[in-house]
Structure 1
Amino acid sequence: MPILIGKQLKLLFKIAPTRALQKAFLLFCTPRKGQVTPDQMDFLDAAEDEVVAVDDLLLQTYRWKGSEETILLVHGWESNTHRWKGLIQVLQKHKYNIIAFDAPAHGYSSGNILNVPLYAECLKKVADLYRPNHIIGHSVGGMCTAFYQHTYQNPELDKLILLAPPSELSIIMNGYQKTLQLTDAFMNALDSYFKAQFGYSFEEFSIAKFSQKIKNSGLLIHDKYDDIAPYAAATAIDANWTNGTLMTTENYGHSLFYNEVDERIVDFLNTK
């Protein structure tokens, strides 16, 4: 199926290149899953908070009230707020005030597409409303968190925690090219299309590079054998993040659903 889609895009590129690029970009930004499943409903429904508008999008937010500092959680691609259930239960024991939201096209939020610049714009709206002290992001949510702070430089934020974030858009797009078997000419045109949309080429959109501008204290947790976001992303980010600390795990996978990870997060948050 991916090869067939790639052939269709290449044919369309010869006839109507702009339309082909638009379709390729939308395909890249369209999640296949991430909606709330029946087994997730009770946990999420009990915490539903405001619905926040960002242009024509409606974002579902959640709140677990606590008397301590506010933490904002940012989930990854084809996921939703339910992925944080275990960590939320740990953070509640420490009385943190916890906020989360479903990304566009995920969970209970509206929309059909998601990309990091759009996600960061939504994060800004939610952060402006709830004014968190700390943000924790997983995978693409970690990418979004770093890009958000690089772009908007929120002075109220103290600590950032990034769990298994990808770093280089160029590497992701190389994988996209291989999957659809797109030509170099097509990808060069798509690169130009992306830069016209967001102001960055694929090569320039680098969380490792963006981390050079992030002054916050940070914790980066990544598994050495992560098969979704390569561990090299973590070392590249760590090399550029002046106030960041890297914790390496082994065989914890991309999701990092382990008590040791939760404990390290809490320890980092509790350290003044």
Structure 2
Amino acid sequence: MPVLLQKIIPKLYGLYFNIFVWFLPNKIAHQAFEVFCTVRKGKVLPNQKQYLDDAKLDVINVAGHSIQLYNWPGEKETVLLVHGWESNAWRWHKLIEKLQKANYNIIAFDAPAHGYSTGKLLYVPLYAEALQAIILKYQPKTVVGHSVGGMTVLYNEHKHSNSCIKKIVTVGSPSEFHEILTHYKNLLGFSNKVMKVVEGYIYSKFGFTPKEFSSSKFVLANSKKGLLFHDRLDKITPYNASVDVHKHWKGSEFVSTEGFGHSMHQKEVNDKIIAFLEKQ
């Protein structure tokens, strides 16, 4: 798609919402939320297919979605991997290689609307439902989340405080939902009225406001051991997100990098994750 169109289309969406919010506020709130949560990428690509097909474990049903799980077996404790937005379980292949060499039992899955899993939308409470079902079934001792996957892990731990989980790793994860929503507002050029009805819709659907949904608040009572990675030059999620989470999470360590980007597939990152898992 030409760059000009990429810039114009979001503004056309915004114009539509800004006009019709005056006549159909409830409908516009629902539609604006769905646009926000619509997944456009992340299905399994040809170069990923064989790798994932060989590791298929099970399909579980959660909230009307079929969730694809994968397993790379090992004799040590179970490590659960939770990918980010518009990605899938393949994004972990470099870390999986390290975990296999260290003989860990590895479980990964595709989020709703990603990889082989069904659906069109993804939002953290839905992602957390799938995550919790998998935690209950496979009892991992460590959970590793990238980007929104990390946010989901911390939200889910805040809700359930699973006794089986001893360690949590987040990589390039956001913290404040209201910051993500403000970015969405600016991208589409929403009016304040549209944002007000969207925030009202979120509260009626989930029981929290955007400002209440905060990883830095979720970890206040978290007694698990944590390891957080974030790159200073991350262009997708702000560096200060992990800084704030680390500040509020007493049991966490923080690894700051520069030039590793958002995905952070580097050997140094994966080596530190393995070292963190093996530390008593």
- Give ranges in structure 2 of 5+ residues lacking alignment: 1-8
Quote the residue 2:276 is aligned against: 268
Question: Alignment partner for residue 173 of structure 2, among 141, 145, 165?
Answer: 165
Q: Which residue of 2 aligns with 1:188?
A: 196
Instruction: Tell me if the contact between 2:26 and 2:197 (Cα under 8 Å) persists in the aligned partners.
Output: no
- Give, as a single letter, the amino acid of the residue that structure 2 aligns with 1:77: W
Q: Secondary structure at the match of 1:189?
A: helix
Superposed displacement of residue 55, structure 1: 2.8
1:17 aligns with 2:22: no
Alignment map for 1:27-106 (pairs within 5 Å): 27-106=35-114
Partner of 2:3: none
Distance 2:48 2:189 in 1: 37
SS of residue matched to 1:90 = helix
Instruction: Give the structure 2 partner of residue 108 of structure 1.
Output: 116
Deviation at 1:200, TM superposition (A): 1.0
Q: 1:213 Cα shift?
A: 1.9
1:117 aligns with 2:125: yes
Number of the residue aligned with 1:205: 213
With the length of structure 2 as denominator, give the TM-score of the two structures. 0.96
State the one-letter code of the partner of 1:124: Q
What stretches of structure 1 of length at least 5 have no aligned partner?
none
* 1:127-173 residue CA offsets vs partner (Å, 9 max, x unmatched): 11111111000000000000010111101111000001000011111
Name segments (4+ residues, structure 1) moved above 6 Å: none
Take 2:277 and 2:138, find their aligned partners in 1: how far apart are those partners? Answer: 18
Q: Percent identity?
A: 42
SS of 2:106 mapped into structure 1: strand
The 3-state SS of whatever aligns with 1:143 is: helix
- 1:137 matched residue in structure 2: 145
How many angstroms apart in 1 are the aligned matches of 2:17 and 2:188? 9
Displacement of 1:270 = 0.3
Would the aligned equivalents of 2:63 and 2:129 in 1 still touch at CA under 8 Å?
Answer: no
Distance of 2:131 and 2:222 partners within structure 1? 16
TM-score, L = length of structure 1: 0.99
Q: Distance in 1 between matches of 2:207 and 2:60?
A: 26
